[in-house]
Amino acid sequence: MREVAVIGVGMNRWGELWEKSHRAIWTEAALEAVEDAGVDRVDAVYVGCMSGGLFVGQEHLGAMLAGELAMGPIPGVRVESACASGGLAFRQAYIAVASGAHDVVLASGVEKMTDVDGAAATYALSTAADQEYEGYHGVTFPGLYAMMARVHMHRYGTTRRQLADVAVKNHAHGTMNPLAQYRDPVTPEQVMESVLVADPLRVLDCSPITDGAAAVVLAPVELARRLARAPVVRVAASAHATDTIALADREDLAWLGSTARAAEQAYAQAGVGPSQLSFAEVHDCFTIAEVMVVEALGLADRGKGGEAASSGYTRLGGRVPVNASGGLKSKGHPVGATGVAQVREAVVQLRGQAGERQVRGARWGLTQNMGGTGASSVVHIFQGEGRR
């Protein structure tokens, strides 16, 4: 396997983009990434998208979006793994370059979620759960995470305030991200008094419905060093693991086994452990998700994920900032794009281009993207080589 680097990144301002179509949103981010990389062609395109079918009635996105690039009859591959579609698209692109099958590859993600109403969006998202044995009983995604939250709170004493502190932290980070959907800070009281969605989770515990795209360009690290347009960011590890799709089949309802497994493999590949990370971008689709992910990544002991946010350990300026970008919570969560946007943030941080939200001295960054209630987890580790 060859060493691989990320040589270009692109992302648009996320939000309710009524004036822009699915393909226009994608093309904006893709072109930005290609231009940032300074290449005149890519050999293949990977697109993460959870449900073009249910959100905009459009499938066959590999061909459609490769066509938008106007680079000829290049391969276009659509990757689906629910909310981990973007992270997995990046991983497939990484494997293509590492294996030597392709040299320069565009990895991207897109979701256009606001063309349908709230009920239709809720339904589309619910298809990531077991339709016959979870969805049939009227449970929603916030409901599934709420059940996990209740076990975590019952067993470890995680508090309602600690969940709120995750939202407060990520919104505070998001105020410094010009591309974030919600750039307003929130207080713990606002979170804890917001409308109940699925007890104990409230609307400000949940990531929003978002339109958006993100894209990055991958190439062999040797090529990246020759191009030397920006500080080289190397892909130090790529790992993927699965777990049962139905929550009822999990051994432990308060533990994200797929994330722990992928992280363990990623740390071994990169030769670093959680204590050496400069920052992490993780899948905070709900506040409880970040609490549990931080534990599965080894950034906090089991049961201490809530404390990690409340104590400032994972805040910008803390020991390991988590979601300096604002996370899904503030930046937005166009599901297929999320995993690629995490990679973009890692690259921007490791290049030292994150502006106000820059993590000082960032050298190692981790991204974790998750589908369903953790039935899929994709973990990547990146190393910044600094300016040469």
CA distances from 299 to 148, 260, 294, 332 (A): 19, 11, 5, 24
CA distances from 100 to 2, 4, 90, 94, 379 (A): 7, 10, 16, 10, 22
Task: Report d(CA 96, CA 88) in Å as an integer.
Answer: 12
Report the nearest approach of another protein to the CB of residue 25 (Å): 26
Catalytic residues: 83, 333
Report the nearest approach of another protein to the CB of residue 161 (Å): 19
Choose between 123 and 313: whose C-beta lies nearer to another protein.
123
Report the nearest approach of another protein to the CB of residue 127 (Å): 10
Cβ atoms 76, 215 nearer than 8 A: no
Task: Catalog residues that contact another protein under the rule CB under 8 A.
Answer: 119-120, 122-123, 126, 132-140, 142-143, 146-148, 150-151, 154, 195-201, 246-249, 253
Choose between 28 and 243: whose C-beta lies nearer to another protein.
243
Choose between 120 and 228: whose C-beta lies nearer to another protein.
120
Task: Report d(CA 269, CA 259) in Å as an integer.
Answer: 15
Choose between 146 and 341: whose C-beta lies nearer to another protein.
146
Q: Which residues, including other chains, have CB under 8 Å from residue 53's CB and lie 6 or more apart? A: 59
Task: Report d(CA 237, CA 264) in Å as an integer.
Answer: 11
Report the nearest approach of another protein to the CB of residue 153 (Å): 10
Choose between 250 and 363: whose C-beta lies nearer to another protein.
250
Task: Report d(CA 363, CA 307) in Å as an integer.
Answer: 25
Phi then psi for residue 215, to 5 deg, are -150, 150
Cβ atoms 212, 332 nearer than 8 A: yes
Report the nearest approach of another protein to the CB of residue 365 (Å): 34
Name the token pair of 172.
């505070």
